[in-house]
Structure 1
Amino acid sequence: MENEIHVENYKIQQPDVWAGNIGDQELINRIKDSDFSQKQIEEGRDYCYFLDKKYYTSNTENSEYACMAYTLNEPANLERASVSDIIVEENEVYYIHRISVLRDGVLVNKIPDTKIKVLDSEGQSGGGILSSNKKINITIKDLRLYDVLILEDSRVKIFTERDFLRKEFSKYVWVSPDNYWAYGSYKFTFINERDKVIAYKKTFFRDDQGNVLEPEINYLKKGEKFSVEEEEYINPVDTGREIFPYIDFATDNNWNNLSNYISPIYQEIFNTSSLPDFAPNLVEKLDAIPDLEDKIQFAIEFVQNNIYYIFNADEMNGHKPQEPAITYETKQGDCKAKSVLLKVILDYIGVDSSVVLVNFHTDFYIKYYLPSLLTFNHVIVKINHNGEEYFIDATVRDEFGLLENRGFIYFMHYLEIKPNQELQTRKAYKYPYYCIDEKVEFKAQNTTGKLKLTTTYRGNRANAMRRYFKNTNRREIVDNWNSFLFYSLNYANDRNGTDLRNVFKEASIDIVSDDKKLNEFKIQYHSTIESPYFVDPQKNRFLMYFDRNVVKENARNFVHKDLPFWHNFDSEKYEITLQTDQKIDVEEKYTIQESAISNPYFDYKSRKKINKNGGTVYIEYNPLVNLEIEEKDFEQFRKDHHTIADSNFGLGIDIIEPGLMNRLKFSFKKKFK
């Protein structure tokens, strides 16, 4: 075997005593075909004869062990088994205990045919992602179709002083196995060798009828184990509509005690030095700004844009932040460092703020998890100002606006770093402005149409559009707008396959204004369209403009038994005017149809003014966001979105063709419609 550099990141040896020891004959005896295995293999499902997983935690280490035997009956599976990567953290060692195959009833040791390389795992360092993780690349030669591959390995993480939080607290989430696999035997064991009691909570397990059972909490003292065992097992979870059952293991604790543990660590950092001592130049700039609102904006954008964000994965595993003087001097830091510096600046200008712990990726699950500081993976700043709460992510860039005009961060749960805190849930939110405010004017005369869109973006939309226009070629932007308008004007149904640049002539898009205090970004689009009417197969002509972004398809199509619908839509306002030099049907049902919806989670209004040559529709959509739609309310919520989709998201007008025969035909059609 070719063992290259960095052998300290992996070793080949027998498993530790806690993991047990399986002999060769015992392995062979466990790899037995059965009616169950034959059925799975015949159906083309990957089959695992057995999988034994163990998680071991003590005051000095966390370790995971696995021993499994599975089929290589598919070429794709053979490829994946032949070359694999293992990522290990700093001070984590990957132990290889066994790599073998059972081939024609004979156990063959494949370690001599295994090549191992250890590489740095810093693929994102250019974006400020720093990590001393290593990638262990394992290549096994001469694996063959219909081999049974046997892998036995473990990974051991020895705690260092930097891992003081992991030393103090344990956190592990076991998730029921992927239902892609069929298992002859599956076993998971959690072993507690810590001095402190570990609680475990079983969540989203189901009864025989598929109903979710109430969460169940139990406890493990030092030396105790917990196991899950299944035989001839395929996980029955309905992945499209159900959450995988999982068990949360965490050192037994409560949020109040945890906040009292972490807050002194941050307070010590806050007390290290004052802003005038380490940043006199910054203080001079702050003092020169007369208005408090401008000071707050300056403080936020200084930290966001002038302090380089470095995410050090190893540092994030602890919770002791960098001193603000160091962050200011080096002009770099992780989320903790940047948030602490921002709070110190806000303290100086007299604005009430605090540092809070969040995890955007697992936000939904936090209310189900056991209390643990290791649940969180990000730090942001909460500002209390003029009776309102604002949350600022100090790690983002190119965000603008006075405090009330800045972008909104969607999440629900957080722990404030102050004494005696409980897990908090944010209030629902209603935008004080329209995120999208658009005016559409489309005028058709003779055989030509003139189209103009004037759009103002605010909040998150303004920040996103500002970045988009900064980073994207203008020709590409125009093409994207043309593509959107091709469907909005319904041209996809009468001239599909046409080059859009031949449909939208002289198309241009320009930035009209960019107000970085109001955080308003305004653009204007122009184009000329020959043959502006949509023509149906019966040669009837229509002018149509329906903005499909208004129709929330994910709300209409949402189906899940466990997850509530997360409501995070933007507020929107549209004024759409269609004018022509032709007469139109001013009594057509959908042309004059209006709507007014008052749902607990959003208000929607569609109002129209119709004249003999066209009309205008005024649309307003005001959602209550950052909350979950309760199950009892969801069907009405869905129904109301169906109502919006029923021709209430734009305007269409029918042309009455000139000529006596056409008018008689139109009159006859109306009578018998």
Structure 2
Amino acid sequence: MLRPRFLRLALFALFLMMCTLRAEADTASRRAEQAFVRHAPVPAWVLPSPALPEAIDAPFSVRLNDVQLRLDAQPASYVHRALVARDMGSLQQVANIELSFQPEYEVLQMHQLLVHRDGRTEDRLGSADIRFLQRERGLEQGMYSGSVTVAIVMPDLRVGDTLEIAYTTTGANPVFENRYMDAAQWDAPFPVAYRRVVLDTPEGRPVGHRLIGPAGGTLPVVSEQRRDGRLLRVFEGRKLPATLFDAGAPRDVQAARWLQFSEYASWSDVNAWALRLFQAGAPGKALDTALAPARAAPTLDAAAMRALEFVQNDIRYLSLSLGENSHRPAPPAEVLARRYGDCKDKSLLLVTMLRALGLEADPVLVSVALHKNMGQYLPSPMLFDHAIVRLAIGGRTYFLDPTRQASTGSWRGSASRWRVPRCWWCTRAAPGSTASPTRRRRSASAVANR
């Protein structure tokens, strides 16, 4: 049972957190309205879409799905879709449109919103009800991304109508230092009459592409065009059948195929990028204060455990992943001052503390979701979804997760308080690390806390 004083402190901390998130949400909403353009011309670089093909006979189908990705000073993504519903249940999917973007660094421009009915075409862009929503799906887990959903409610949309929409999203997270990567879904849970993906890049900047996913199905027809010093790779498909998805399948099972694009030539490029992010700086007196219990420990083993206990139990988990903070960790001094952080913040703090104790420690980028076949992907930072710490001590290597709580005791204990997932992929962010991501299995040499 919580004591009254502790309960008051907990409620006050929760109140402060909610005030912080509310202020961030209000700022993001205002920024979203400024970064949204309702009527904008189609960019000159866009390849004209073909005439709308006939709809496939299905409750819900896509007549046109045209996505064009352009690598430029400001990368852009042009989307042109035409959707049709033949029953009331499917009409719900068409009538409520949701587009997500990051107003911190992206601009969303709407080009057209048309309804085709009985041979007539109506322009609905001016009259559509457009709202900006803060839908932080990870809020209950203490995760705030700053993403804004543009919700478009279509009045008077009927069964049999075709809804045609076109828009462009421009901008990229500066944390990736103008290195390009993107992806486009190829398969879909509904039939598609015409599918096209265009990758438009300068001829002097090679960008790799790869079709990821299971074998079989209709393969894209690939062609190339060159114009004005640019290379256009075009992936086309016609009359693509619906792909069935198993809702109970593991997260790492690729049920549908998708196109991956990446400018990273090797995993060493990814490692070099991560190294530039995980620079600790000098946290000063705050670090000395935090390290005092560890420095008073009788052994290095005990000192490392106390450092881990401090980061796990005294720094609460909260992720404000806005802009560059989606991947750039906060400086240890800032984390110590505010007493919260996410996996990358806490990992950099722990690495800094362990190195101050004279121990060998490095941050490690982890893909928890991808348990196998990491070799099928092109090198890209986007494949990693977690950060932990590698510690070498006493002739053994340990992988520590500073986001876990209540780790106490000794490295040598027989009961593991938390282990890494049974299988996971990681790449070590350390100088000279050039290897591809390594698949780890849960074992005595790859446990978080013993």
TM-score w.r.t. length of structure 1: 0.54
Match status 1:253 vs 2:276: no
User: Residue 233 of structure 1 aligns with which residue?
Assistant: 240
Query: Residue 203 and residue 146 in structure 1: after superposition, are their counterparts in 2 closer, same or farther (change >3 A)?
Result: closer
SS in 2 for 1:196: coil
What's the counterpart of residue 197 of structure 1? Answer: 206
Corresponding residue number in structure 2 for 1:348: 356
* Alignment of structure 1 residues 265-276 onto 2, 5 Å: 265-266=277-278, 269-273=279-283
Residue in 2 aligned with 1:312?
A: 320
Which letter does structure 2 place at the counterpart of 1:172? Answer: D
Decide which of 132, 147, 161 is 1:133's aligned counterpart: 147
Q: Is the 8 A contact 1:299 1:346 kept in 2?
A: yes
The alignment status of 1:417 with 2:426, answered yes or no, reads no
1:141 Cα deviation from its structure 2 partner: 0.6
Q: Determine the structure 2 residue equivalent to 1:14.
A: 41
Tell me if structure 1 keeps the 8 A contact 2:196–2:236.
yes
For residues 474-497 of structure 1, the C-alpha deviation after alignment (integer angstroms, 9 at most, x for no partner) is xxxxxxxxxxxxxxxxxxxxxxxx
CA, structure 1 residues 104+418, in 2 after alignment: closer, same or farther (shift >3 Å)? same
- Equivalent position of 2:158 in the other structure: 144
Q: Deviations over 1:88-128 (max 9, x none)?
A: 11222222211111111111122244101113334544543
Question: What corresponds to 1:119 in structure 2?
Answer: 133
Contact between 2:280 and 2:348, CA under 8 Å: does it hold in 1?
A: yes
Task: Report runs of 4+ in structure 1 exceeding 6 Å deviation.
Answer: 236-242
Q: Deviation at 1:188?
A: 1.3
- The equivalent position to 1:302 in structure 2, one of 307, 310, 318, is 310
8 Å Cα contact 2:203-2:231 kept in structure 1: no
Deviations 1:575-626 (Å, cap 9, x if unpaired)?
xxxxxxxxxxxxxxxxxxxxxxxxxxxxxxxxxxxxxxxxxxxxxxxxxxxx
- 2:33 maps to a residue whose letter is V
**Do the aligned residues in 1 keep the contact of 2:175 with 2:328 (CA within 8 Å)?**
no
Check the 8 A contact 2:301/2:410 in 1, yes or no.
yes
Report the secondary structure of 2:377's partner residue.
coil
Q: What is aligned with 1:385?
A: 393
Whether contact under 8 Å (1:68, 1:151) holds in the other structure is yes
Whether the 8 Å contact between 1:101 and 1:110 is mirrored in structure 2 is: yes
Aligned-residue offset at 1:381: 0.3
Report SS of the residue matched to 1:64.
Answer: strand
Structure 1 residue aligned with 2:187? 177
- Alpha-carbon contact 1:86-1:136 (below 8 Å) kept: yes
Indicate conservation of the 8 Å contact 1:367/1:413, yes or no.
Answer: no
Aligned-partner SS, 2:89: helix
Q: Measured at CA, do residues 315 and 366 of structure 1 come closer, stay the same or move farther in structure 2, by a change above 3 Å?
A: farther
Bigger relative contact order, structure 1 or 2, given CA contacts below 8 A and separation 6+?
2
For 1:373, give the aligned amino acid: P
- 1:91 pairs with 2:101: no
Q: Return closer, same or farther for 1:371/1:158 CA change in 2, 3 Å cut-off.
A: closer
State how far apart, in whole Å, the 1-side matches of 2:335 and 2:74 are. 31
Residues 425 and 271 of structure 1: CA distance in aligned 2, closer, same or farther (over 3 Å): same
What residue identity is the alignment partner of 1:414?
Answer: C
> Residues 203 and 287 (structure 1 numbering): CA distance in 2 closer, same or farther, change over 3 Å?
closer
Q: Is the 8 A contact 2:420 2:442 kept in 1?
A: no
Percent pairwise identity: 18
Per the alignment, residue 406 of structure 1 pairs with 417
Contact 2:186 2:257 survives alignment (8 Å): yes
Shift of 1:244: 2.6
Counterpart code for 1:408: R
Counterpart AA for 1:174: A
- Structure 1 residues 157 and 339, CA gap change in structure 2 (3 angstroms): same
- Structure 2 residue identity aligned to 1:136: V
CA pair 55-199 structure 1, distance change in 2 beyond 3 A: same
CA contact (8 A) 2:370 2:425 kept: no
Contact 2:427 2:438 in 1 (8 A): no
Could you say if the C-alpha distance between residues 141 and 400 of structure 1 is closer, same or farther in structure 2, counting changes exceeding 3 Å?
Answer: farther
For residues 112 and 327 of structure 2, what CA distance do their matches in structure 1 show?
Answer: 37
Find out whether 1:154 has 2:168 as its counterpart: yes
1:453-602 equivalences under 5 Å are none
How far 1:365 sits from its partner (Å)? Answer: 4.9
SS in 1 for 2:79: strand
Distance in 1 between residues matched to 2:140 and 2:303, nearest whole Å: 31
Unaligned runs of 5+ in 2: 1-28
Distance 2:394 2:439 in 1: 17
SS at match of 1:412: strand
Number of the residue aligned with 2:92: 79
The question of 1:165 aligning with 2:165 is answered no
More strand by share: 1
Change (3 A) 1:206 1:133: closer
Aligned counterparts of 1:271 and 1:234: Cα–Cα separation in 2 = 54
Distance 1:242 1:195, change over 3 A: closer
In structure 2, the residue matched to 1:102 is: 116
CA distance in 2, matches of 1:9, 1:297: 47
> C-alpha distance in 1, partners of 2:443/2:172?
47
Letter in 1 for 2:233: F
Per-residue deviation at 1:426?
A: 4.2
**Residues 1:64 and 2:86 are matched in the alignment:** no
Shift of 1:339: 0.8
- Structure 1 residues 372, 124: closer, same or farther in 2, change over 3 A? closer
CA shift, 1:253, in A, is 1.6
1:235–1:135 distance in 2 versus 1, CA, 3 Å: closer
| Distance verdict in 2 for CA 1:236–1:368, change over 3 Å | same
Give 2:43's aligned amino acid: D
1:230 & 1:398 partners in 2: Cα distance? 53
CA contact (8 A) 2:194 2:238 kept: yes
Looking at structure 1, the residues matched to 215 and 306 of structure 2 have their Cα atoms a distance apart, in angstroms, of 52
How far does the alpha carbon of each residue in 1:23-51 deviate from its partner, in whole angstroms, 9 at most, with x for none? xxx75xx3436xxx3xx33xx4x222222
Counterpart residue number, 1:446? none
SS at 2:170 equivalent:
strand
Give the deviation of 1:369 after TM superposition. 1.4
2: distance between equivalents of 1:341 and 1:127?
21
One-letter amino acid of the structure 1 residue matched with residue 35 of structure 2: N
**Counterpart AA for 2:304:** I
Q: 1:331 aligns with which of 331, 336, 339?
A: 339
Aligned residue for 2:77, secondary structure, equals: strand
What SS does structure 2 have at the residue aligned with 1:298?
helix
Aligned length: 404
- 2:293–2:306: 8 Å Cα contact kept in structure 1? no
Give the structure 1 partner of residue 19 of structure 2. none
The answer on 1:224 being equivalent to 2:237 is no
Q: Is the 8 A contact 1:253 1:372 kept in 2?
A: no
Is 1:188 the counterpart of 2:188? The answer is no
Change beyond 3 A, Cα 1:345–1:255: same
Contact 1:67 1:151 in 2 (8 A): yes
SS of the residue aligned with 1:19? coil
Q: TM-score, normalised by structure 2?
A: 0.79
Equivalent residue number for residue 436 of structure 1: none
